[in-house]
Amino acid sequence: MRVRVQAEPFDYGAECTGFGQGGRDVGAVVTFLGVVRDDSGTLAAMEIEHYPGMTEKAITTIAEEARGRWGLADLLVIHRHGALRPGEAIMMVATAARHRAAAFEAAEFLMDYLKSRAPFWKKEIGADGDSWVAAKDEDEAALTRW
């Protein structure tokens, strides 16, 4: 299990290559990539602030819960911070399990929890000024299914 919080870009392809493979107990690998989207059409950058120390702890807690609950053979979370341009990768999740249902569910669980329980805050830097991205009620509601 690996958790990385970093400003630098990561190589999604390289991270996925070989992930969870090579053993005899893994039948399914699911990977997810989050990318900076420009809804307004005027986004210059997405500035991601985080809480050094708590971020790593919070993600590790979420990841350990996922690993235990779905019996994952391996798990990887990478989340970036700093100024990112539209189209750049923000974060990725990879899960490896015996069966695909567990790998998919664990990846969705990780995404739902990272969204509202990992201390990151997004600010949109646009042509018309800057604005903090507000948390959505449905993101909080998404946690109730787990």
Closer Cβ to other proteins, 25 or 139, answer by number = 139
Tell me which of 29, 91, 96, 106 binds other proteins, using CB under 8 A. 91
Tell me which of 121, 141, 143, 146 binds other proteins, using CB under 8 A. 121
Q: Which residues pair with 120 in a beta bridge?
A: 50
Closer Cβ to other proteins, 46 or 73, answer by number = 46
Tell me which of 1, 35, 54, 101 binds other proteins, using CB under 8 A. 54
Q: Is residue 146 a contact point for other proteins (CB under 8 A)? A: no
Q: What's the rounded Cα separation, in Å, for the pair 81 and 83?
A: 7
Residue 100 near residue 28, CB atoms below 8 Å? yes
**Edge-to-edge, what's the strand order for the sheet holding 2-6?**
2-6, 74-80, 89-97, 28-35
CA atoms within 13 Å, Cβ hemisphere of 101: 1
Residues that bind other proteins (CB under 8 A): 34, 49, 51, 53-54, 57-58, 79, 90-91, 111, 114-123, 132-135, 140
